[in-house]
Amino acid sequence: MLSLKRELSHVYWICGSPCAGKSAAARLLAQDLNLVLYSTDEHAVLDHFRRATPCRQPFMWGLRDLADRYYDRSPLAIVEHSLGYLAEEFVMVLEDLRRMSQDRPVIAEGICLLPELVNRVADYGRVVCLVPGEEFYRTTQPLRPFTAALLRSHPDPLQARENMTEAHLGLARHILESARAAGFRIFVTGERDSIQRNVEILRDHFRLSS
């Protein structure tokens, strides 16, 4: 893994659970400093799930069958399956990053950047973990386009929302524990935090300047 750390030494990693503000802060930071932005969510939609096979990515492949029923299951089952497919996607992320040019620094952000996995390929100073406070998450999550679309089409939207909420909070707890074990810096975002404040946190931790 030492050689992989060297190969990816131009990458800055933003880990965290849903609704933490990772994407917005990473986008602004990349714009401000002319960095390359790598959003795992965008690559998942455009490429990763298309590349998945039942042998190499069984958890990702299984999402095809679950589709709209993903949040019909218990929060614990959702978390367990999520950790499985996120780990599979992380391998794809590494493949992507290794193919990219190293001429400019890269900001990589996304849920699949689980701290226990990033810990194998990055040093402390290049990793930040953002997670939302529970009350902030409960307030923000229903407003997200993905959530609204799912609830509109679901036969039992209230139960689906509750399962999603508890699963995402369970995932946030896993990420927090994993980040603490790895010694990564953690920031809990809340209702009063601005995107610009998160950008300054990232800029300060990564020691980036214009």
Q: Residue 58 and residue 170: Cα distance in Å, rounded?
A: 22
Give the structural domain span for 160: 2-206
- Look at residue 140 in the predicted model and tell me its pLDDT: 83
What's the average model confidence in pLDDT over 113-120? 97
What's the average model confidence in pLDDT over 181-191? 91
Report the CATH number at residue 74: 3.40.50.300
pLDDT digits (tens, 9 = 90+) for 118-169: 999 999 999 999 999 998 888 888 777 777 777 777 788 888 889 989 999 9
Q: In what order do the strands lie in the sheet with 11-16?
A: 36-39, 106-109, 11-16, 127-132, 185-189
Q: State the total domains in the chain.
A: 1
pLDDT digits (tens, 9 = 90+) for 58-100: 999 988 776 668 888 899 999 999 999 999 999 999 999 999 9
